[in-house]
């Protein structure tokens, strides 16, 4: 079976007293759609959804979500897989759909689209202009793939991005382009950059996923990490054949190993391989290997 995957978000004020009601309504709709799985984040500032299902059922849920929340112009990124990238469907209530502001700070919500570049505009700028290009994603994402020439902040989580900007000594009068997976992180990163004095900053509308729809052989190199069991998608938005999820930490893994405990074949990430100093295919096997090594000592 071929499953359709949708990734979409929208910044819209949802009254706090309605959040639980909206959660229940989304869960009720999902219960009517047997194939639907994924994760929906709801907060007072809006929603962020990645879901999968049969094409008919997924389209039904996407239409319901946007109708429920009054969105008439949803920006949705689609892809496909021959397996379910999620185990179940879940709705989470959050303080923010993406966290960047420090505690007590007002959420950074964009007012319009004036700082967004379409994939076509983005591609032309990267081809023709000298710009400062910054990846706003986490280090385990950038290792899988990024735009050619992009600066990698080498951050472990998005909340470290403001401090990276403060410490990096980047030119604030140069044209800057920033990007992320689907666009939602850049909605806040771009305003943080304006707050820190960067004069001309633009984000990639729809993120890497939208760019790869239009330019599969363009300026993006490698694969794009996604937060589900596909691990990443290639430049044609097909599920990765190169990476698996590391059984120890959940990061992208490509080091093929034979487990020293059960002899099973598995891919683990290089960081865990170096840290544990013994090849193991699961946390359980690692536990038994450590016990065996300690007893031998």
Structural domains in the chain, sorted by start: 3-93 (3.30.70.100), 116-229 (3.40.250.10), 245-296 (no CATH)
pLDDT of residue 112: 58
The rounded distance, in Å, linking the Cα atoms of 105 and 26 is 29
pLDDT at residue 293 is higher than 90 = no
Distances 6 to 15, 149, 181, 205 between C-alpha atoms, Å: 25, 29, 13, 16
The rounded distance, in Å, linking the Cα atoms of 28 and 58 is 14
Catalytic residue among 180, 186, 269, 272: 180
pLDDT of residue 295: 83
State the CB neighbour count (10 A cutoff) for residue 250: 13
- 261 close to 280: Cβ distance less than 8 angstroms: yes
State the CB neighbour count (10 A cutoff) for residue 277: 7
- 116 close to 203: Cβ distance less than 8 angstroms: yes
pLDDT of residue 152: 97
Structure tokens at 165: 């900007």
DSSP string across 180-203? -SSSHHHHHHHHHHHHTT-SSEEE
Residue-averaged pLDDT of the chain: 93
Q: What SS3 state is found at 216? A: coil
pLDDT tier, 101 (very low <50, low <70, confident <90, very high otherwise): low
State the CB neighbour count (10 A cutoff) for residue 158: 18
Q: pTM to 2 decimals?
A: 0.91
Judge whether 186 counts as a catalytic residue.
no
Average pLDDT of the residues in 87-106: 81
Which range of 188-192, 230-234, 291-295 scores highest in mean pLDDT? It is 230-234
State the CB neighbour count (10 A cutoff) for residue 55: 13
pLDDT of residue 104: 43
The rounded distance, in Å, linking the Cα atoms of 254 and 268 is 6
């Amino acid at each position: 079976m071929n499953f359709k995957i949708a990734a979409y978000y929208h910044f819209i004020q949802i009254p706090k007293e309605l959040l639980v009601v909206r959660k229940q309504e989304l869960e009720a709709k999902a219960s009517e759609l047997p194939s639907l799985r994924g994760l929906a984040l709801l907060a007072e500032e809006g929603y962020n959804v990645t879901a999968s299902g049969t094409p008919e059922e997924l389209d039904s849920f996407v239409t319901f979500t946007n109708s429920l929340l009054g969105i008439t112009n949803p920006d949705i990124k689609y892809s496909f897989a021959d397996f379910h990238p999620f185990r179940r469907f879940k709705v989470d209530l959050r303080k923010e759909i993406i966290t960047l502001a420090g505690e007590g700070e007002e959420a950074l919500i964009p007012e319009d689209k004036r700082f967004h570049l379409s994939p076509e505009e983005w591609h032309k700028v990267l081809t023709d202009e000298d710009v400062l290009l910054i990846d706003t994603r986490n280090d385990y994402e950038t290792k899988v793939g990024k735009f050619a020439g992009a600066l990698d902040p080498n951050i472990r989580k998005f909340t470290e991005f403001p401090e990276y900007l403060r410490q990096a000594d980047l030119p604030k009068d140069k044209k800057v382009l920033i990007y992320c997976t689907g666009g939602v992180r850049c909605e806040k990163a771009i305003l943080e950059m304006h707050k820190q004095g960067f004069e001309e900053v633009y984000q990639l509308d729809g993120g890497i996923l939208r760019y790869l729809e239009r330019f599969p052989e363009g300026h993006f190199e490698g694969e794009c990490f996604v937060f589900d069991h596909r691990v990443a998608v290639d430049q044609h938005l097909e599920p990765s054949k190169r990476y698996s999820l590391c059984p120890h930490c959940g990061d992208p893994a490509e080091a093929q190993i034979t487990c020293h405990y059960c002899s099973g074949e598995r891919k683990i990430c290089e960081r865990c391989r170096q840290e544990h100093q013994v090849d193991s295919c699961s946390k359980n096997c690692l536990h038994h290997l450590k016990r065996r090594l300690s007893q031998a000592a």
